[in-house]
Structure 1
Amino acid sequence: MNDAGDNYEEAIQSQRERIRRESLEELLQRIGKEDTPLNIAIIGMPGCGKSSFINTLIASITGEWRSYAMAGSFGGMGEHKTNHIAMYRKEKYLKHARDVEHLMEFNFPTILDMSGISDANDKDTKMFLDLVFSGRIPENSRISDILNHIRENGERLNNLYPLAESNIRVDRIIFVVSASNSSLPENLMQAVRSSSRSGQRDIPLFGVLTKIDAPFTSEENEYQEFISSIRTHLGILDIHLLRCTNYCDVNLREMNDEIRKNIPNIDISVLRGMTQILDPSITVVEYNRSTSNQMDAGGILVLAFVILMISIFRMLF
């Protein structure tokens, strides 16, 4: 009887491994090899599972969990472990992959990580988000310094943080929410949604719902209302809300320390969700401000000419 049970478990595990490989292959086909890798900003409140999601995303791709983004806070004292703008390029997070040479050929994204942001929709928050999304903040900049500059300099920020080719402009925004907390950061969600569509670029916005293995409620109707509220505040389709469980202290202990073998069920949902998020058919809309400015200038000239002609007409007649 035990042998039959063992064989059944092995068959189930083998099927999950196959689905994981197929999901990864689908992602590889979707992102391709020819275009420039996308830049993804991961945004969320403290404790939402943002850094754990980054580690989970990388583990799902590479087949091995490693701690790239430092998750949690120091000793529960509320101090963020990520206190600067951290960027994870594929050259860094793929080098330990099992099939590194093959994976390096594909356009895996650069991931931007930062500390959790408070639930606010004020001017300072929007200015900070605008700086991040427009690529004005250099890598490894301290977030506290940026916020101080915002408070002290206001509208002169563009002089302090000019556009540079070495900086990274954001091509995708992922807002992370925890299923274990019924309270949504509605103000921050509105700020991110607004900033994603301001300026000269309209950046695609997606959602990630973490900790679905420990939801705040067991009531299905209440949980579905919660998901609907996430979609409404972010203004996204259901297909653009990735639902997942992160690798964390609990399930990491289930992994074999020697083999470091991943849990397929976790990887599959993440890989399928990222296939949607990294779809190259979804593009950033670049607004042609120079053209509109030229039209505005031309309109002013025409209006000035009309006023001048009216003045001359009145003087003559």
Structure 2
Amino acid sequence: MVDSWNPSFSDSDSDDNQIYVARDPRKDKHFDRKQELLWNCKGKAGKVGQGKEPLVIAVIGPPGCGKSSFLNTIFAAFSHDQWTERAKYGEFGRRGKQVTRRLTSFKKKDYYTRDRYEGDYLLPTFLDMTGFEDDDDPLNTELLNIILCGKLKEGEELHKVINHGKNFDVNSVKEKYFGGKYFGIIPKHEGMPNLLDYFVIENREEYHRVNRVFVVCSANPDQPLPEHLFEAITNITNRERDITLYGVLTQADKYKSRDPKVLKREKEFMKALGIPKNRFARIKNYCPDIDPNMTYEDNIIPSLDVPVLRLMRQVLTAEPTDQDDEHRKTKKGKYVPNLSNPCVAFIAAAVIVAFVLFVLFKLFVFFLRI
């Protein structure tokens, strides 16, 4: 097999240029740059023993936007050998809407294969989920909120959240995943302090605390932007958590950046998410359109990897809230006990038992007086 050159390829780094696919990736002019960016990314991610935890990055987008392809391109960019389909392409129902499946996480061990001497780098965990429809349904928004707040377990079926809300209501979903007063709200009686007012029982611990969000959308200027979805994402990240958003337009090989319609879409995309240009990227994914011979199944393409790694270097830059404990606090500043901890569960149970005994004692004294 010979190297494949496109006649329109030039030395410019413009994303309007075609990709050079070489049988030997070391012949790609971007090969050295990829190695440099890889070291940059690993250095920013840090190592075990430095008091850090791997970042958790959620990847969100409407159905058919190229989200799974983008994830696989990220994994290839971190790879030293070849592209692999790790994030499976979504299935679509009869009406063209994606079938919700399960929340899936990709940890470092799932996508980064290197020798044993590089096993201690804290590369991020990526959360993959169904494509969200562009609607303002409160249940759809609450599902997104639950995911971004890390309340879903690995492999948990997303449609169960929606079904629970349809069978009961949105408030029931909030109580199930975010907790509420144990045994409901017990009214106070004069002279009897309600000890339960001082305790909030958390039904769910945080399984995946999201630190960053990739919002993915197609660069196709003829497709409307999912404004309702974007509004829900920005409201949740601003209201519930201080989560940094990054915007990615896929299919950069099909829709050229010099096209005025594409330029307009980029501006509207960034404006809708409220992000600056340094948190925006146009990405070409690994696909047969880039390489009809699909040689990327045997080799990497550094020309595709460099833009992704440049973006990841920015994403992995440490932020003040990455390692703090603010996510464990309620809005009033009080810590929320986690009942998965046996000690906390014992204390909570002891308080409840003490309260019940206190009430029984008061009733006993009351009946003695009459």
| TM-score interval, smaller chain | 0.7 to 0.9
Q: State the distance in 2 between where 1:250 and 1:290 align.
A: 49
Residue in 1 aligned with 2:312?
A: 274
- Residue correspondence of structure 1 range 2-151 to structure 2 within 5 A: 13-33=27-47, 34=50, 35-63=52-80, 64-73=82-91, 78=96, 80=98, 83-94=101-112, 97=113, 99-151=114-166
Q: How far off is 1:55 after superposition?
A: 0.7
Among candidates 270, 274, 289, match of residue 231 of structure 1: 270
Q: How far off is 1:225 after superposition?
A: 1.5
Q: Which has the larger displacement, 174-183 or 105-114? A: 174-183
Q: Which has the larger displacement, 61-70 or 35-44? A: 61-70
Residue in 1 aligned with 2:368?
A: none
Q: State the distance in 1 between where 2:176 and 2:33 align.
A: 49
TM-score (norm: length of structure 1): 0.79
Residue in 2 aligned with 1:156?
A: 172
Query: Does the 8 Å CA contact 1:125/1:191 hold for their aligned counterparts?
Result: no
Identity of aligned residues (%): 30
The secondary structure found in structure 2 opposite 1:249 is coil
Query: Does the 8 Å CA contact 2:253/2:290 hold for their aligned counterparts?
Result: no
The structure with more helix, counted as a fraction of residues: 1
C-alpha distance after superposition, 1:148-194 (max 9, x if no partner): 122333212244333225x1121111100111253211110111111
Q: How far off is 1:80 after superposition?
A: 3.7
Q: Which has the larger displacement, 33-42 or 103-112? A: 103-112
Q: How far off is 1:134 after superposition?
A: 1.1
Q: State the distance in 1 between where 2:172 and 2:43 align.
A: 44
Q: How far off is 1:31 after superposition?
A: 1.5
Larger radius of gyration between Structure 1 and Structure 2 = 2
Structure 2: 5+ residue stretches without partners: 6-10, 12-19, 178-202, 336-370
Q: How far off is 1:241 after superposition?
A: 0.8
Among candidates 235, 238, 242, match of residue 194 of structure 1: 235
User: Is 1:263–2:301 an aligned residue pair?
Assistant: yes
TM-score (norm: length of structure 2): 0.68
The residue identity in structure 2 corresponding to 1:155 is N
Among candidates 175, 180, 187, match of residue 220 of structure 2: 180
Compared with structure 1, are the counterparts of its residues 267 and 186 closer, same or farther at alpha carbon in structure 2 (3 Å cutoff)?
Answer: same
The secondary structure found in structure 2 opposite 1:140 is coil
Q: State the distance in 1 between where 2:32 and 2:331 align.
A: 51
Compared with structure 1, are the counterparts of its residues 115 and 181 closer, same or farther at alpha carbon in structure 2 (3 Å cutoff)?
Answer: farther
The residue identity in structure 1 corresponding to 2:274 is G
Query: Does the 8 Å CA contact 1:37/1:109 hold for their aligned counterparts?
Result: yes
The residue identity in structure 1 corresponding to 2:141 is K
Q: Which has the larger displacement, 29-38 or 9-18? A: 9-18
Residue in 1 aligned with 2:248?
A: 208
Query: Does the 8 Å CA contact 1:41/1:174 hold for their aligned counterparts?
Result: yes
Q: State the distance in 2 between where 1:218 and 1:21 align.
A: 27
Q: How far off is 1:260 after superposition?
A: 1.3
Compared with structure 1, are the counterparts of its residues 158 and 67 closer, same or farther at alpha carbon in structure 2 (3 Å cutoff)?
Answer: same
Q: How far off is 1:290 after superposition?
A: 6.2
Q: How far off is 1:117 after superposition?
A: 0.5
Hey, which bits of structure 1, 4+ residues long, moved more than 6 A?
A: 8-12
The secondary structure found in structure 2 opposite 1:194 is helix
Residue in 1 aligned with 2:343?
A: none
Query: Does the 8 Å CA contact 2:270/2:276 hold for their aligned counterparts?
Result: yes
C-alpha distance after superposition, 1:247-297 (max 9, x if no partner): 12333544437x711111110000101111121136458476465579xxx
Q: State the distance in 2 between where 1:276 and 1:282 align.
A: 14
Give aligned pairs, total: 281
Q: Which has the larger displacement, 150-159 or 75-84? A: 75-84
Q: How far off is 1:212 after superposition?
A: 0.5
User: Is 1:245–2:284 an aligned residue pair?
Assistant: yes
The secondary structure found in structure 1 opposite 2:239 is coil
Structure 1: 5+ residue stretches without partners: 295-317
